[in-house]
Structure 1
Amino acid sequence: MRDAQQKGKPFFLYYGTAQTHVNLYSSEDFRGSSKRGRYGDNIREMAWTVGEIMDEVKAMREEFKTLSIFTSDNGPLINLGNEGGDAGILKGGKADFWEGGVRVPGIFHWPGHIRPASTSDVVASQMDLLPTLIQIVGGPIPVDRKIDGQDISSMIFNWWPEPQPETVVAKRLYKKPKNDKSAESEPRMLVWYCHDILYTVRYGSYKFHFNTKKVWTKEGHHAKPERYGDGGFPLKQKADCFACSAELNLQYPNPEPPECFSQHNPPLMYNLDRDPQEAYPLNVSLPANNPVLDEMMNKLDKFLDTMIIAPSLLANRSPSVIPCCTPESFPKCTCNYQYEGPVPPPGRANKDSKESGVLLKKILDKP
């Protein structure tokens, strides 16, 4: 950032944190610093790194020209119990398409442009970042391909009717574009695939599941609670029900039984405004629900007409870039944890894991 500033050029920084992803490594300054164990230590270190970046932008006096975005690629890895985060009231987590797996933070910060502490319930996607950022900088949207994202700038900036006293300078840098269409009243449709399998469709306030996986909870809800020690610590890390189908599941080192996966015809239907936990599927045959299903299916058919399934980027991956993998074990590579000893009392944070009696050591699955 400093180098770009000195050269009089704009800068773009993508910073993907290692924190909260397994393995949960923390530097010495943060190890044992929280009451939430290794996951809490990771959160504290991640918060610190974000703060360091934001402080640097301020030190450069670029905060009024810099849009900062904080988000995540998926929900928590809940099959790791207390080591994997928490989706709150939401069902599911990483590798599924329940709200706990796909609803993630979307935090936008730009002093002078974004109203402090403002929120929005607009349905948005990370696919929207490309057209939105192009709109902000005044560039052209690519026309040689189908762009699934939408410009959500009006949602982000909330279009202050009059410049606020502290934002007069900033208002000169950005003005509402003409013919803004980022707040269309038509229901937004988002489509989720797993591999080449259609799983889920979000349509306005409604969500439709054509395929589902069994749901994990911290207690090891759907199977094998013996994998968890006291306090929800995992005995092993294992990719249960991570595959996209029963057939693809057979490629995993320790495949789960076929009952991990379910198909639904007609799809399961939920109203997320009333039921964000996806606990009460609606009766799609009722007069109030069937027209919504039909409308969604008509738009989905049009979407599928333009959908091209690209080759998997992971199909020919090299073992050299996969953690805990050797040429002999590829492609059945996985990092596991082994739990030993009791869990420390709640609220106790220790600098040395041996003091707490908890040893979580990485071991390599044998092929």
Structure 2
Amino acid sequence: MQISTTPSDAAVPDERLAGILAEPGFGTHFTDHMFTVEWTPEKGWYDARITPYGPLTLDPATAVLHYAQETFEGMKAYRHADGSVWTFRPEANADRMVRSSHRLALPVLPADEFVQAVDALVQVDQRWVPDASAPGAGEKSLYLRPFMFASEVFLGVRPSQHVTFMVIASPAGSYFKGGAKPVSLWLTEEYSRAGRGGMGAAKTGGNYASSLVAQQEAIGHGCDQVVFLDAEEGRYVEELGGMNMYFVHQDGSIVTPATGTILEGITRSSIIDLAGKLGHRVEERRISIDEWRDGIASGAITEVFACGTAAVVTPVGRLLSRSGEVPSATGDDEGGPVTATIRQALVDIQYGRADDTFGWMHRVV
């Protein structure tokens, strides 16, 4: 892919950037540039370019606005202590976007070109990657958002004949304001995330849109996140609004809900490998809400945690529902030792503090 670059003449000044990187928040500041490439059946992918970050001009009849034909990814770039910049398993994000594109009837961007596009933007905007090695810097990174959408101007139910793929980037601190403290969950018994044959395994905006009313319900009950059950029986735990789940058992084994109607998270699959290396037996299977409740009551389940690109690994505290409360396995103020060990092992690899024996890290700069 040949990529042209137009430098920004309105780049954020260094002094202001330093202030942003000191307290980046999450998803509120954006880098100086963005990557764009377009597709039509006749041309294939064409006009790959990096341009100054700015608004898009869309016709009111642009297909994505009416039929929600779009996919996206979430990943991060990390600055190591020697100043180098790395991304975490970008090829896995590329492969997942391929799967999502098939499900949404979008053209496939080859995995190597996906990685090339992300690398190109990170290289141009590398000064936006926070330095996490300084004392008290915390786990800061550059969050990367590749996305693809139907950009043809038409009203009609068919796959778009013009598609745009873009990458934008935003410096990120902790996803939750309280940091890696246990999050409280609300069990929605009215809303489902996705059903058999649906789009649950695709990373598309519709999945997240369908979670918002339930997330609103969770906040209304004083909880941080919502947890969904399966659509068919309403018995089996699936995922949170934006994270996958894990259950640690007394014998050291770990269970995570099987995929099919839930998103196959990159962090989720990494934890399966990492936990196995740390000596835990990991099962991917259905786990019912009753097993969760009974396991906490009996002590068979000793820890519950959630994971995702944005939040990394987050302990789960209490679970509330209309049927009552399931207390935290470890207390509401801290997570358990297995959760902490897995989290630390993962972020140590991401920030270059531990050997990457899995070959997950990809050097960009």
TM-score by length of 2: 0.22
Instruction: State the structure with more CA Rg.
Output: 1
Point out which structure has higher relative CO (alpha carbons under 8 A, 6+ apart): 2
TM-score by length of 1: 0.22
- Relative to its length, the structure with more strand (as a share) is 2
